[in-house]
Every structure is written in C-alpha cells, then in structure tokens.
Amino acid sequence: MPPSSNKLEDEAKAQSTKKSTERFFSTTFSGRDVTISDFPLPEDAKQDSFPLPSTPDVQPEPHKIRPQSYNRLQTKLNSLDITPFLDLMLSVAHERDPSKIIERASTGYKGTHVTMGAFWLRPTQKMADIVTPHPSADTMLKLVAFSGIKETTPSGWNHALGTFDLAPITEPIFASCQKGIPSIGSSPEDWNRPSWAIKEGYQAYSSFPVMYNDEFLGILSTFYDRPMVGPFAQLHSMHQKMHKIFADTVARALVNAVAFGEIQKLRGELELENELLRRAVQEKHLDDNLIGDSDSLAHVMEQIGVVSPTDASVLLLGESGTGKELLAGAIHNRSTRSQNAFVRVNCSAIPHELFESEFFGHVKGSFTGAIRDRVGRFQLADGGTLFLDEVGEIPLELQGKLLRVLQEGTFEPVGDERSKKVNVRIIAATNKDLTREVASGRFRQDLYFRLSVFPVNVPPLRERRNDIPLLARHFINLAANRMNITAPRLKPHHVEKLQGYNWPGNVRELQNVVERAVIMSHSGSMEFYIQDNSYATPPIEMNVHAYSSDHSPATPPASAPRPQDVITEIEWMAMQRENIQQALEATNWRVQGSGGAAELLGIKPTTLRSRMQKLGIEKK
C-alpha cells in the first residue's frame, strides 16, 4: 500500500533538515587558509541567531522545477556557519602589528567563484610601517597584498599611468570608495571592464572602502569569475555585507595598531629621554647648586665630566666668587673617591707659621701650644680629595714639602720623624695668574706643573649673563625659605637690571644683593640695591629707591662725592627708619636671637632698640 501523502511530506522535511545540517557554505576574503566553509551548523544553533540578508519571500510554485545548482546554493545559504568569520575578525581586531593585520586579511580570498582579492592602502606617513610613503598619497593607492588563483597578479594589471601596483583613486573599480561608498559591478554590463579584466575573465567585482572616522585608508576588492546575478545575487549580497563588516574591522585594527606603535615609540623615546636626563642630572650635578644653562658653564661641566673619573690633579682658575669650590665638590662627587672624605682648606686664611701644622699635623710638645697630637688635612683626606682653595697663598718655603706629598704620597707631621703615607687627590683653585707668580719667583714651577695637570677656566658671571635669572630665582627661594616668608616675584625689569651690571664679585656678590633685596621686600614687592664696587670706592649707602650706579667700566671713579650723592639728615633718618621697619617685618618683629632683626641688620640688639626708640618705631 503506497504511503500516505502526509507521511511522504514528513519524510521529505526530515530529509531536508538532515541535508541542511550536513551541507556547508563558503565565503570570500576569509583572511586565513581555512575559509568560512566546511563547517556544519551546530546542533544547538538557531537558524535566526545570526540573520542572513533579507530576500524577497517568494515561494516557488509547486509545479515549477528549480535547477539543481540553485537548490544547492539555497541549502548552503540556509546552513551558514559564521564562526570562522567571527574568529577572523577577533584575531584581526586584537592584532597590534600592522603588517600581521595585512597578512591575516590577505591569506584567503577563497570562496564561491572568487578568483582574486587585493588590498590597496594610501601610502601616507601614518602607514609608514606598512607601505613606503609617497608624495601622491592623496590621489594614489599602493598595492600591499593580494591572493588568488590567477597567474597575473594585480601588480601586472595596467592603467593609463602604469600598473595597479600604484593606482589612481579615480580608477573605475575604486570610483566611489573615497566617499565611503562601496563600488560594485555584479555583471559585465555593470562596469566598463578594462582589458586586464577581460583577459583574466573577471565578470564581477566588489570594492569596499577601508575607513575609520571618515578617514579614507584604503580599499579591499574581490573579483569573480562569473556574473553574480540571478541565482547568485543573494550570495553576492551576502558577500557585500560581510566584506563591508570586515573592511571596517580591518580599518579599526590598522588605526589601533598604528596608534599602539606610536605610543610604544613615544614610550621608548620618553624612557630614553628620561634616562638621558637622569644621566645629565648626575653628570651636571645640579644637586651641587651648579645653576645655569649657558654655553660657557656647559663647557666647564663637559671638562669636569671628562676629568672627574680620573685621579688627575685639577687646577680651577677663575675670579673670586665664581663657584670654584662648588665645582671642586662636583669633581669629587663624580669621582671614584666620592664615598670618602672631601677636605677643604682655605690657604689664604691660614697664618704662615701654622701652614705646615695645618697640612701635615703635629705631635704633642712639638712647639709651644702643641698640647696634644693633631691630625693634618692630608691625613684627614686619605683615600679622598683635598681641595686647596687660593693655592697661590701657600708660602714658598712650604711648597717643596707639598710637592713631595704630591709626588711620593709621604710626609712627616711637625715634631715627628716617622713618615706617613697617604693617597690623596688634589684639586686646587686660585684667582691669581700662577704663570706670573712663577715668573716672579713667588711660586715653584715644578709645583705649578704638578697641580695644573688638568686646568679648568671658570667663567666670571659677566660671561654668563643668561644664567643670572636662574641664579637670582635660586637665591630668592633660599633666602625666603630661611626667613620663612613667601618668595618675592622676580620681574622682567629686575632681570634687565641684574643683567646690566658687570658683577665684579661674581656669583657671591649676586647672592648678597638678592638676599638684601629679599630682606627689604615689602608685601611681596622687591627691588635690588646694587652698589658698584668695580673701583673699590667706599660703598654708597643704600637708597630707598632702586639704585644702580651709572658708572661704566671705562669711566674712572670720581675723586670726590658728587653733590647729588649727598643726602640730608632728614633723608638719612627716613632711610634708617624704613630699613629697620622692613627688617622687623621680615622677622615678625623679633629683635634678637637667631634670625632676628638685629642679626639681619648686623648690629647689637641693644643698638637696635635704642634706634627704634630714637626713631619712634613701634609695633602696630
């Protein structure tokens, strides 16, 4: 008995369902060797979990028989598994190497009737890690990848200006992509096929813009070996939608990868710059208060950087107040002896009869007043550095013994016959011209040669005028912190005034002037009272207004005071009153003690109280 019609329909539906889960679908531009094909739909997946492109809901007539290929295509569309496509997009999105993104995006181009795929990028500076920048990046596209089954590659296709290795954006297959609109040719009738397309048998194509935030980066194109119309129209529509999604993913991935590369590059540059700055700080020893960025100071620091790691003797030559002691400390701190003692000796402050004892020490009873043993400076500096400031003041009779210590490393303390051995590095400084001292017989030539193994000329402040604002700010902050007041502001006219003075006393004189200005600053305002001591004339008393001498170095000092320099008694008392009041306000009206007004003014507290009473100064 023949089966019933209902039973036959049920079996047909079951067979159709079974076939739909066993048939597969291929798509193009998969980006890897395994395409979106040969993957059955999972049993627990719903057909509408990833909806396919909408198609007209037209039911075939029962009596009309469709071609077998059409039925197979419909089955493939109904059984689409997009998992490989999603995996591909995720792998591209997570990639941080632009070249690998291109590689992932161009290894497939396989699928139903797809015979070639290609990727062009604008050769901009932004994409320099992928493609060499080209001056015509705004109008040209550079081929960066391709894949297909044809023997002739896109680099062999010809256009009016050359080959598609570098193609104009205005080519027909790219026509609308620059505006963000895909360029589609579903059949030969839809596009004016060039000779290379006819020769290779390309019947249809799709070009998709690679864009990110309206920035046109490039184009992805696929080419087909048959017209994608009729029964293949739905497949072509599917390709277009998936390729558009993929092109957007590639665009985002490329921009992110380029940005990531720039960040990594900047990070590396910042790390390198940080390391260089750290070394620069160590080399220049800014912590030693060596303030300034002038070329002359930079040259000195370069010399110090060369000689510091050695044990060579250094002779610092320069005017008084130029910071020779700070430079000596910087040399010691950068030397291999930095962990040992740095001993300072001001040779000009030692009485001549005590030089030998000061340098070499003495034993008890060696002379009148030697009530106990005393260790000399050389022994204190053993293993470290001995800084001889104003070395030109060493008596001639002691210079021979000093030379012996430098040559042999041995000496005898005063009153002791036993020799002591030391290992000391010598850094000497002087404001004298030792060559003249040698010529006049006041300094031993052999000692001069021993000390000046590496001479360094320290520039005076007048040759470092660009450093004056930095030094002034530094001294202002130091003085304000010491007096526990708000640091006054250094204004442009202050800088102009300070830079206009020749500073015969160099940095030391600048520090004194700045400290005086901070002491006399009132309500945050500050003025500098500069006394021109270039000619060693008696100092002119400070004026309550900003005063700087108009003397020029080429003009000799006047032999007698000028009438305009003489002030009346009333003016003098007003100046004293103003000066005392400002000193009291700077110290919060503390008259005596450390940091008190009397100390700032350099007078006794009793004298200050007497003047306050005489001038009628009282705390309000």
Residue 456 pLDDT > 90, yes or no? yes
238-294, pLDDT tens digit by residue? 888 888 888 888 888 888 888 887 888 788 778 766 765 665 555 544 444 678 888
The first and second tokens of residue 430, run together, are 């002087």
Read off the pLDDT of each residue in 103-121 and give the average, rounded to a whole number.
Answer: 74
- Per-residue pLDDT, averaged over 421-425, amounts to 90
Q: Give the span between the Cα atoms of 312 and 450, in whole angstroms.
A: 10
How far apart are the C-alpha atoms of 451 and 505, rounded to whole Å?
25
Domain ranges of the chain: 101-253, 295-459, 461-564, 567-620
Mean pLDDT (the chain, rounded):
76
pLDDT tier at 532 (50, 70, 90 boundaries)? low
Domains 295-459 and 567-620 share a fold: no
Strands (E), 407-561: 410-411, 420-421, 425-430, 454-457, 529-530, 547-548
For residue 78, what pLDDT is reported? 57
Residue 174 has pLDDT above 80, yes or no: yes
Of residues 25 and 395, the one with the higher pLDDT is 395
Which residues have C-beta within 8 Å of that of residue 58, sequence separation ≥ 6?
Answer: none
Handedness of CA 319, 325, 331, 335 (dihedral sign): positive
CATH topology of domain 567-620: Arc Repressor Mutant, subunit A (1.10.10)
Would the pLDDT of 19 be above 60? no
- In angstroms, the CA 145 to CA 617 distance is 90
CATH 3.30.450.40 fits 101-253, yes or no: yes
Beta-carbon contacts of 592 under 8 Å, excluding residues fewer than 6 positions away, are 598, 599, 605, 608
Q: Output 567 or 361, whichever has higher pLDDT.
A: 361
Long-range pairs for 166-173 at CB < 8 Å and ≥24 separation? 166/123, 166/134, 166/140, 166/141, 166/142, 167/120, 167/140, 167/141, 167/143, 168/139, 168/140, 168/141, 169/139, 169/140, 169/141, 170/139, 173/205, 173/207, 173/221
Name the least confident of 133-137, 335-339, 376-380, 533-537. Answer: 533-537
Q: With 70 as the cut, is the pLDDT of residue 110 above it?
A: no
pLDDT at 238: 82
Residue with tokens 């320069």, as numbered in its chain: 318
Residue 87's pLDDT band (cuts 50, 70, 90): confident
- Looking at residue 386, what is its pLDDT? 93
Residue 536 has pLDDT above 80, yes or no: no
Residue range 152-157: average pLDDT? 86
Q: What pLDDT score does 96 carry? A: 79
Q: Strand runs (DSSP E) across 528-598, as ranges? A: 529-530, 547-548
Residue 253 has what DSSP assignment? Answer: H
Give which of 403, 303, 285, 391 is closest to 348, Cα–Cα. Answer: 391
CATH architecture of 461-564: Orthogonal Bundle (1.10)
Phi, psi of 522 (to 5 degrees): -135, 125
For residues 132 and 555, the model is more confident at 132
Does residue 538 or residue 1 have the better pLDDT? Answer: 1
- The kind and range of the H/E element at 158 are strand 158-159
Angle (nearest 5°) at CA 572 between 567 and 573? 155
Split at pLDDT 50, 70, 90, the class of 50 is very low
Q: Which amino acid is at 467?
A: D
Residue, of 449 and 153, whose pLDDT is higher: 449
Alpha-carbon distances of 511 from 175, 292, 295, rounded to whole Å:
73, 14, 21
DSSP state of 54: P
Tokens of 54: 């909408």
Q: What is the pLDDT of residue 586?
A: 82
Q: Return all residues near 235 (Cβ < 8 A) that are at least 6 apart.
A: 73, 77, 112, 228
Angstrom distance (rounded) from CA 563 to CA 566: 5
Pick the CATH number of 295-459 from 3.40.50.10210, 3.40.50.300, 3.40.640.10, 3.30.365.10: 3.40.50.300
- Interval 209-245: pLDDT, tens: 988 888 888 988 889 888 888 888 888 888 888 888 8
Q: Say how many C-beta atoms besides its own lie within 10 A of residue 137's C-beta.
A: 17
Which residue type sits at 218? G
Lowest mean pLDDT among 77-91, 213-227, 410-424, 589-603: 77-91
For the residues 548-577, what does the mean pLDDT come to? Answer: 55
Residue 228, pLDDT score: 87
